[in-house]
Amino acid sequence: MTAARTGSVIALGYACLDHRFWVEQFPPARPRTRATSHRTAIGGPAAVGAVAVVRLGGAASLVARVGDDMEGARLAALLGQEGVDVGHVRAFTGAQTPASAILVTPDGDRHIFAHHGEGLPEADDWVAPDLVERADVVLLDHTWPAGATGLAERARRRGLPVVLDLHRATETAWRLASLATHVIGDQELAAGGGGVERTLAAIRRAGAWGAVTLGAAGIAFDGGHMAAALVQARDTTGAGDVLHGAFALGLAEGRSESEALGFASAAATEHCRQGAVPRRADVDRAVGVRASTETT
């Protein structure tokens, strides 16, 4: 089998510091409840997507805004340890880094309490204009519209695929969708857009290839439906972010949309099972097992 070529992805958008607590019951029965486990982790669609790209064998640069505080320094250090290029993560003076408290229940479900930071400017004039020259694919979320718009426009002029993580049916989000080549939404987007088929139709009207993730019900996409593999989930936090990163990497490696989506689905499933962003060998193994099961 021919080895996949290494792909380079630029991810732009939200990065935060997660504080994850595993609990035996939610909501709690008492004012003080002991957590069974805790860890500090990288959070945010763009940041987790970048980590997924690197762990799956690609190269990733992250463009994000943080504060000049301890949380921002800790987040940048964690990203650097993962091998993500953080040369375009900017710490703004006096700003506060986004952070989340996440409670994970025994079935792997999560309850997120997010603070999106303070003092993070909207302007993108500090983003290097030649950044797209070093990329195969651009991955965006819609939390920073000015930054996403500027990078998407530069990427499209160069003819690069632009993957958008979309989960809000707002006017601003749909404007970004019109700049993307590939849009992956979720159940929240479908619920606000009149259902899966209407949402896929809206993505097509925006000029992009589209898909909608449906949790345990799989993924609906232009041209079909992909079933989800059933696993015992340890933590589902960030599974969608991993899927977007893996999909972007799949395109960067030269895969078709359906091939990239299958790879991404396996990566997200492994993430839920392990409770952490998986490595390439784990995902390749899962893809092989799934393929043999489907042909049996």
In a domain, residue 28? The reply is yes
Whole-number Å distance between alpha carbons of 136 and 97 = 29
Amino acid identity of residue 271, one-letter, is: H
In a domain, residue 53? The reply is yes
Q: Give the list of residues 6+ apart from residue 281 with CB closer than 8 angstroms, or none.
A: none
In tens digits, the chain (296 residues) has pLDDT values of: 344 557 999 999 999 999 999 998 888 888 888 999 999 999 999 999 999 999 999 999 999 999 999 999 999 999 999 999 999 999 999 999 999 999 988 887 889 999 999 999 999 999 998 999 989 999 999 999 999 999 999 999 999 999 999 988 788 989 999 999 999 999 889 888 889 999 999 999 999 999 999 988 899 998 899 998 877 777 778 899 999 999 999 999 999 999 999 999 999 999 988 888 999 999 988 776 555 555 44
**Given the structure tokens 């993580």, which residue do they identify?**
165
In a domain, residue 159? The reply is yes
In a domain, residue 244? The reply is yes
DSSP for 51-67 reads: HHHHHTT-EEEEEEEEE
In a domain, residue 1? The reply is no
Whole-number Å distance between alpha carbons of 163 and 264 = 13
pTM of the predicted structure, to 2 decimals = 0.92
Whole-number Å distance between alpha carbons of 121 and 172 = 17
104, 22 Cβ separation under 8 angstroms: yes
Cα dist from 81 to 35, 42, 76, 181, 274, whole Å: 27, 11, 9, 31, 19
pLDDT at 30: 86
Token pair for 177: 């969708």
CATH, residue 259: 3.40.1190.20
Domain count across the chain: 1
In a domain, residue 78? The reply is yes
Range of the domain at 29: 8-291
Nearest residue to 176 via CA among 129, 217, 142: 142
Instruction: Kindly state the helix (H) or strand (E) to which residue 204 belongs, with its residue range.
Output: helix 196-205
Cα dist from 8 to 42, 72, 288, whole Å: 20, 24, 24
pLDDT at 291: 55
Whole-number Å distance between alpha carbons of 49 and 62 = 9
pLDDT at 193: 84
pLDDT at 296: 45
In a domain, residue 127? The reply is yes
CA angle in degrees (0–180, nearest 5) for 89-5-213: 65
In a domain, residue 2? The reply is no
> In this structure, which long-range contacts are made by residues 217-222, counting pairs with CB atoms below 8 Å and at least 24 apart in sequence?
218/265, 219/261, 219/265, 220/196, 221/257, 221/258, 221/261, 222/257
Whole-number Å distance between alpha carbons of 204 and 171 = 16
Whole-number Å distance between alpha carbons of 162 and 159 = 9
pLDDT at 216: 84
pLDDT at 3: 47
